[in-house]
Amino acid sequence: MATATLTANVRAETGKGAARKIRQAGDIPAVIYGHNREPQSLVLNARETEKLVRSIPVSSTAIELTVDGTTVRTLIREIQRHPFKRTILHIDFQELVAGETVTVKCPIVYIGTPEGVRLDGGILDQIMHELHIQVDPSNIPNHIDVDITSLKVGKSLHVSDLTVPAGIKIVDEPTSTVCIVQQSKQAADAPADGAAEPELIRKAKPDDK
């Protein structure tokens, strides 16, 4: 599992007015919750936080969050951004505890080239790019491998077809389509081998009688 570090400070003031002042000062308001703890309001350095968020897969990276000298293991559960500027307005952290499963989004890595692409000119359509999995925080994978080498044209993989490591449960709908190999337009338009050329039919002229 990927990990990263971040530093935060406890903030006493809460509410929209306090959050606005924090942003004006170049910081980001945040909150940490979970494991029977009361939600705790925090302040993050904006530059440090933006740099971290750009460099990691947020949904599957554990954040070692140091709060006033004490470090706790967390996941970023929500990032609120400005609708136009896209700057971070607020972050929610969930404290992680070994033995308590969490549900996270995990990226899919497609392995191999489908048979239908290699041999029949098909096109791979990657419908899903991540899976929702339930797992112990200590075993969160960086990604889930999906082998697609045997996939033929017209065939698809569904969530129920996937194999994941022990201790991981996929919570997406089993019938959801993960990927499919489509027939290319060129192949669909090409005439079948040995097909006769269409006969040209024209109206007879008077001189042809």
Q: What are the tens digits of pLDDT across the range 22-35?
A: 888 889 999 999 87
pLDDT by residue (tens digit) across 49-81? Answer: 999 999 988 888 889 999 988 899 999 999 999
Range of the domain at 67: 2-95
3-state secondary structure of 201: coil
The CATH number of the domain where 182 resides is what?
2.170.120.20
Contact between 91 and 75 (Cβ < 8 Å):
no
Number of structural domains found in the chain: 2
Residue finishing a domain among 95, 120, 150: 95
Residue 151 resides in a domain: yes
Shared domain for 107 and 83, answered yes or no, is no
Contact between 64 and 71 (Cβ < 8 Å):
yes
Shared domain for 75 and 111, answered yes or no, is no
| Per-residue confidence (pLDDT) for residue 85, from 0 to 100 | 87
Shared domain for 171 and 115, answered yes or no, is yes
Shared domain for 50 and 133, answered yes or no, is no
pLDDT by residue (tens digit) across 75-122? Answer: 999 999 988 888 999 999 999 887 788 999 999 999 999 999 999 999
| Per-residue confidence (pLDDT) for residue 98, from 0 to 100 | 75
| Per-residue confidence (pLDDT) for residue 2, from 0 to 100 | 79
Residue 152 resides in a domain: yes
Residue finishing a domain among 39, 74, 95: 95
pLDDT by residue (tens digit) across 173-186? Answer: 999 999 999 998 76
Residue 196 has pLDDT above 70, yes or no: no
3-state secondary structure of 32: strand
Please give the Cα distance from 96 to 5 (Å, whole number): 14
Contact between 28 and 91 (Cβ < 8 Å):
yes
Give percent of the chain above pLDDT 70: 88
User: What pLDDT band is residue 209 in, cutting at 50, 70 and 90?
Assistant: very low
Mean pLDDT of 138-145: 89
User: What pLDDT band is residue 36 in, cutting at 50, 70 and 90?
Assistant: confident
Chain mean pLDDT for the chain = 87
Shared domain for 91 and 154, answered yes or no, is no
Contact between 131 and 170 (Cβ < 8 Å):
yes
Residue finishing a domain among 95, 129, 157: 95
Top pLDDT among 192 and 76 is at 76
Shared domain for 166 and 112, answered yes or no, is yes
Give percent of the chain above pLDDT 90: 57
Shared domain for 112 and 91, answered yes or no, is no
